[in-house]
Structure 1
Amino acid sequence: MTETTQPRDESDVPRGLQDDPLNGSPDVEAYFGDRYPQVRHFAELLADQGVLRGLIGPRELERVWERHILNSAAVVPFLGDGVIVDIGSGAGLPGLVVAAMLPERRVVLVEPMERRVQWLLEASREVGIDNVTVLRGRAEEVKESVEADVITARAVASIDKLVKWCAPLLAPEGEMVLLKGRSAGDELERAKYALRKHRLVGEVLEAGTLPGLEPTRVVRLTRA
């Protein structure tokens, strides 16, 4: 059943989010479809508590949708099948956004900081995202208990470091799908020796969301 959205009372929306030009946008609602209510709830929670809990900066409040939610959502079309493991999940970006959009998939959030683990547990429970497992630890510390069909990461480390830490978690046919910035191509070139060592090949893809927004750059690493 498709969940219908109700008109929002502006007094219920966190103050920072009220100034976000994309908040309440019909284009955003159409983009997320029947997953919009959960994604919106998470965006509001992030805007309300994110700065206080050190998850986002105060200057980012007016761009929560573009900078964080839509940027995270852009990775979804590239996630293939199977278990998704989000490394260094932090605020839940992209992990909680991905889990909200793909309720049929198992999503494992790996985060070493206790206060962020607590946030992930609280946020997933409050938003009603029940297809996530939260693990405290670094990637190299959970390799005995996690096997990933797809690994995601956003703003965690350079590609060469991510390959070193995360390749042992990959299933035999697994892949890594990383959110990166404008220098993704240069970063991928610098990681060529790490890729070769772990028998991975990489490509940079552009992932669009809404018209008029800069595409997100996605680096996909697959088995050679």
Structure 2
Amino acid sequence: MNEFEKRLRWGINELDLSLSDEAVARVLAYHELLVKWNKAYNLTSVRDALQMVDRHLIDSLSIMPFIGEGDLIDVGTGPGLPGMIAALVRPDLNVWLLDSNGKKCRFLNQVKMTLKVENCTVVHHRLESWQPERQFAQITSRAFATLSDMVAFSRHLLAENGRFIAMKGLYPHEEIAELPADIEVQKVTPLTVPGTDGERHLVELGFKS
């Protein structure tokens, strides 16, 4: 077992998650591709491969207990965080990965092909102008500017009873206060992410009924 697998398994244990050996192997294979492609494509500012395990893999896995049933789209997914991680560990879940950055989408298509990730679709498009003939039960974001921007740019993609699932750092008091009147906060959950300093919160939003 190399240092990356040791660190990942430690994080999974700390998060009290139950992942199969196959799921762990798929996440580690993704990590290997991310490290390799990052050297040429600058997919993430994190350069250290071991730090990537903490700050990208374990951080993304921390929201898995909150991912429910129904098609999911990860908006502004970057190199696939948390969306590709969700697709790798939840083969039963249909996941769309949307980003406007061509290099990041090429990387995601390479991951999809290399690891045979049949339950994910990569969309190279600007979020606010993408108009598919469908909606999603779950919309995730990890590095989106503000909650109100996330809602404004992606609300046309959310199904009537769907949820926005936004990963945030500090408790976003000001961002919540700026949300539009027809959006309600369903839940804000503090997350403890092993190996990561600073506060983490998961914000769940939906349309007011």
Q: Which runs of 5+ in 2 are unaligned?
A: none
Corresponding position: 1:154 with 2:142: yes
Could you tell me whether the CA contact under 8 Å between 2:169 and 2:198 is conserved in 1? no
Match of 1:188 in 2: 176
Match of 1:174 in 2: 162
1:199 positional shift:
3.3
1:214 positional shift:
6.0
Q: 1:117 to 1:32 in 2, by over 3 A?
A: farther
Name the amino acid aligned to 2:200. Answer: T
Match of 1:137 in 2: 125
| TM-score, with structure 1 as normaliser | 0.80
Name the amino acid aligned to 2:19. Answer: G
Counterparts of 1:11-50 in structure 2, within 5 Å, are 23-25=5-7, 26-28=9-11, 30=13, 31=17, 33-34=19-20, 35-50=23-38
Q: How far apart, in 1, do the equivalents of 2:146 and 2:31 lie?
A: 27
Q: How far apart, in 2, do the equivalents of 1:210 and 1:62 lie?
A: 13
Corresponding position: 1:67 with 2:49: no
Could you tell me whether the CA contact under 8 Å between 2:80 and 2:108 is conserved in 1? yes
Match of 1:11 in 2: none
Corresponding position: 1:95 with 2:83: yes
Q: How far apart, in 2, do the equivalents of 1:209 and 1:199 lie?
A: 27
Match of 1:86 in 2: 74
CA RMSD of aligned residues (A): 2.4
Secondary structure in 1 matching 2:162 = strand
| TM-score, with structure 2 as normaliser | 0.85
Secondary structure in 1 matching 2:205 = strand
1:41 positional shift:
0.9
Q: How far apart, in 1, do the equivalents of 2:77 and 2:39 lie?
A: 16
Q: How far apart, in 1, do the equivalents of 2:173 and 2:145 lie?
A: 15
Q: How far apart, in 1, do the equivalents of 2:77 and 2:64 lie?
A: 15
Could you tell me whether the CA contact under 8 Å between 2:169 and 2:199 is conserved in 1? no
Q: Which runs of 5+ in 1 are unaligned?
A: 1-6, 9-17
Match of 1:199 in 2: 183
Q: 1:184 to 1:50 in 2, by over 3 A?
A: farther
1:62 positional shift:
3.7
Q: How far apart, in 2, do the equivalents of 1:80 and 1:58 lie?
A: 29
Q: Deviations over 1:194-223 (max 9, x none)?
A: 2x1x43335321233548876631111023
